[in-house]
Amino acid sequence: MNLKPTESQKEGEIRLVSRNRKALRDYEILETIEAGVSLMGSEVKSIRSGKLNISDSYAFPDNGELTLKNLHISAWESSGTESHEPLRPRRLLLHKKEIRKLTQMVAEKGLTIVTLAVYFRNGKVKVELGVGRGRKKHDKRQAIAERESERLIRRESKRDA
């Protein structure tokens, strides 16, 4: 998925708000899925201004629904007394078939559903979720070493060309 920040919001265009690079380092992502999020108006305004933190957020099955935990959306200054709670659990909007599939994956294989990115698509807040398996410390080191060697190879091929 191409998630590049843009200035204007045209039909079908995506405006990236936040990306969780820590999740890509800590988890081996097996599958990704896009979901909507049930939000209050003040939360959407805070997200538009970029006042959110997704580094520790994850989704879990809860009574036939998926719920997003630890997504910190700062309170909107101008909301007055009708402000939202920054760390409240938020319901994810998915089809029942997708919820069942994700619930089975998490239950059977011991996988985790982590938040990879938050972005706007057609004026709606969307969350990219990744179903992943946690990496051990030596796996993280190996992934970093592979990335470094690929970067070195690309650099050398550019210099030769």
Would residue 148 count as lying in a domain?
Answer: no
Tally of domains within the chain: 1
Residue with tokens 């630890």: 70
Whether the pLDDT of residue 30 is over 70: the answer is yes
Q: What is the pLDDT of residue 93?
A: 92
Q: What is the rounded CA–CA span in Å between residue 61 and residue 63?
A: 7
Q: pLDDT tens for residues 45-69? A: 888 888 888 888 889 888 889 999 9
Domain that holds residue 119: 14-135
* Residue ranges of E strands in 8-160: 14-19, 27-37, 52-53, 58-62, 65-69, 72-73, 90-93, 112-121, 124-134
Would residue 2 count as lying in a domain?
Answer: no
Would residue 31 count as lying in a domain?
Answer: yes
Task: Give the pTM.
Answer: 0.73
Q: Kindly report the CATH number assigned to the domain that includes residue 54.
A: 2.40.280.10
Residue of 93, 157, 153 whose CA lies nearest to 129 = 93
Would residue 7 count as lying in a domain?
Answer: no
Please measure the distance between the N-terminal and C-terminal CA atoms of the chain and give it in whole angstroms: 29
